[in-house]
Amino acid sequence: MKGLVFRLFLLLSFSLGYPQSVQYVGKEDIRSIASKSERTLLKTFTIWCEPCRMNMKNYIDVESQYRNTQLYYVLIETEGNRRLQPTIDYLIGKHPKAKILVLKDEDFGRGVRRKNKNFLKTFNYNDQPIDEGIGKDIVLDKGANVLAVTSWQDRLSDETWQDNIGILRRKVFPLLK
C-alpha cells in the first residue's frame, strides 16, 4: 500500500509540475495564436544569444502587466537540434510559465540563419530592411498584423546591449496598453 501511495505521489508531482507550453508552429499557426489576444509579443530567442538571456528579466511580468497581451518565446533552432531541449529547459527554469514556440523546419527552413531570415520576412512590416539579428521583439495585433519589430539598432547611445528595457519602454510597451 505504501508503495502505491508513493508511486501515486510521484506521478502527481511530475504531472503537476510547471505549466509549460511548447508548440511546433508554422506561419498559419502563429497567425491563429495572435487571433486569440488583442496583442501578441513574440520574443525571438536562442540559448547562445547572450543578450537574449540577459534581458529575460524584462519579459517575466509582461502578461500580468498587460492583461490583453500574450508573450511567446520563439526559438530559432532547427527541429531536433541538440541545442533545442537545453534552450527549452533554460527558459522554463528562468520563466516557469513561459509559452514557447519552435518554428517548423517545413515552413521556415533548416538552420538558424535561414530560419531566422524566413521568419523575419514573414513578420516584417512596412517592407523595412531586415536586420537578421536574434533577440527581436515582434508585436502583433489580433489580426496578426505587425505593429513593431525591434532590433539592437533601436537602442539609444547611452543604452547598452545588456539591458533592452529602454527599447521596450519606447517601442513595445506603449503598443501593449
φ, ψ at 41 (rounded to 5°) = -110, 120
Average pLDDT along the chain: 85
* Residues linked to residue 23 through DSSP beta bridges, in sequence order: 101
Place of cell 535561414: 114
Q: Model confidence over 21-73: pLDDT tens digits?
A: 899 999 999 999 999 999 999 999 988 888 889 999 999 999 999 999 999 99
| Of 152, 158, 146, 157, nearest in space to 168 by CA | 152
> Which are the contacts of 175, defined by CB distance < 8 A and separation ≥ 6?
39, 139, 147, 148
| Alpha helices (runs of H) in the chain, residue ranges in sequence order | 2-15, 27-34, 50-54, 62-65, 84-94, 105-108, 112-122, 165-167, 173-176
- The number of domains in the chain is 1
CA distance 177 to 114: 33
* Confidence band for 1, pLDDT divided at 50, 70 and 90: low
In a domain, 13, yes or no: no
- Let me know if residue 6 belongs to a domain: no
108 occurs within a structural domain: yes
Q: Which domain holds residue 78?
A: 19-176
**Domain of residue 166, CATH code:** 3.40.30.10
End-to-end CA distance of the chain: give it in Å, rounded. Answer: 54
Residue 152 vs residue 73, higher pLDDT: 73
Distances (CA, A) of 72 to 3, 86, 128: 40, 17, 23
User: Using one digit for the tens of pLDDT, what is the confidence trace for 92-122?
Assistant: 999 999 999 999 999 999 988 899 999 988 8
Tally of CA atoms within 13 A in the half-sphere of 165 that contains its CB: 8
9 lies in some domain:
no
Q: Is 23 domain-assigned? A: yes
Average pLDDT over residues 114-139: 83
Q: What percent of the chain has pLDDT over 90?
A: 57
Question: Model pTM?
Answer: 0.84
Residue 1 lies in a domain: no
Q: Give a yes or no: residue 122 inside a domain.
A: yes
Distance between CA 73 and CA 84 in Å, rounded?
13
Q: Backbone phi, then psi, for 22, in 5-degree steps?
A: -120, 120
The answer to whether position 10 is within a domain reads no
